Amino acid sequence: MTDQPVLFLDSGIGGIPYCRHFIARNPYENIVYVADRKNFPYGNREKEELASILINLTEKLIKAVNPKIAVLVCNTATLAALSELRERFQKLPFVGTVPAIKPAALASQTGRIGVLGTELTINEPYIRELAVMYGNGEIFGIGAPELVEFVETRINTASAEEKKTIVKDYLNRFRDAGIDTLVLGCTHFLFLQEEFQREAAPDITVFDSVAGITHRIESLLKENFPEENTSPDTHRKNSSHQNHLLLTGTDEPESSWITWAERLGFSLSLLEES
């Protein structure tokens, strides 16, 4: 198994649930998780600006960690820059994260699909095209930058009642709009998945893309590295196996990032500025 890592990239902690899911199935892959705290949050940036940020960051990461596959574990980043990244870095396979519109549209009985995400995500024509393609559905989107901030800064300290309250506030708005399926269209919201599922039942079904992204990564690994045994049952541990958490920016890691690195069992360091 090659020492090259699988790269997960997000503006903050949002991609961690995706990273954990992949590791659970592929424990012997080297992982680098990059939190672009220097440019957090992504959701309030113009599409062209964010694409430029991600192209520059990817160039640095290719030089710094030489990934064998790159995963944008951010819906906003994917919608803003995936096509440009694939065009610019043709030798590096990319996996994007897009809202789970297809399964939500196929499951909807009312044709009214709720999407909770950043402003850039909910205003992206592509998600409406998917809704029509797979279910003749209509998108009702709510932009929630304050929920991204809540997850990023308070998810580890907020009480159960606080989490329940903030989730119910959004669900009340979705219910008023008559939706019966809800897509968590920002990776950060996976940290509140249990709360959304509990409070949405029984009339609203909640969808996310975690399992689908893991399967897509595994498929690309098998396609691009056929000499490796990348099945979940592999017992061939890489002797140099190690996982890293990289932060952008020049400030020392905040205590929250030290805690996350410890929880993940990752080493923690800064991505060197060039």
Segment 36-60 shows an average pLDDT of: 96
Same structural domain for residues 59 and 105?
no
Q: Are residues 118 and 48 in the same domain?
A: no
Same domain, 70 and 136: no
Which is more confidently placed, 140 or 2?
140
**Could you tell me if 199 and 74 lie in one domain?**
no
19 is catalytic: no
CATH code of the domain in which 181 resides: 3.40.50.1860
On whether both 123 and 202 belong to a single domain, the answer is yes
State whether 202 and 113 are in the same domain: yes
Catalytic residue among 34, 54, 186, 221: 186
Residue 91 lies in a domain: yes
Q: For residues 234 and 221, what is the distance between their CA atoms, to the nearest angstrom? A: 14
Measured over all CA atoms, what is the biggest interatomic distance in the chain, rounded to whole angstroms? 55
Instruction: Average the pLDDT over 21-34 and give the result.
Output: 97
Residues 183 and 130 grouped into a single domain: yes
Catalytic pick from 35, 74, 127, 147?
74
Q: 186 catalytic, yes or no?
A: yes
The verdict on residue 218 lying in a domain is yes
Tell me which of 94 and 229 has the higher pLDDT: 94
* Helices of type H across 35-144: 47-65, 75-88, 101-107, 119-122, 125-135
Tell me: do 54 and 91 sit in the same domain. Answer: yes
Whole-prediction pTM value? 0.91
Number of domains in the chain: 2
State which residues form the domain around 262: 6-97+211-270
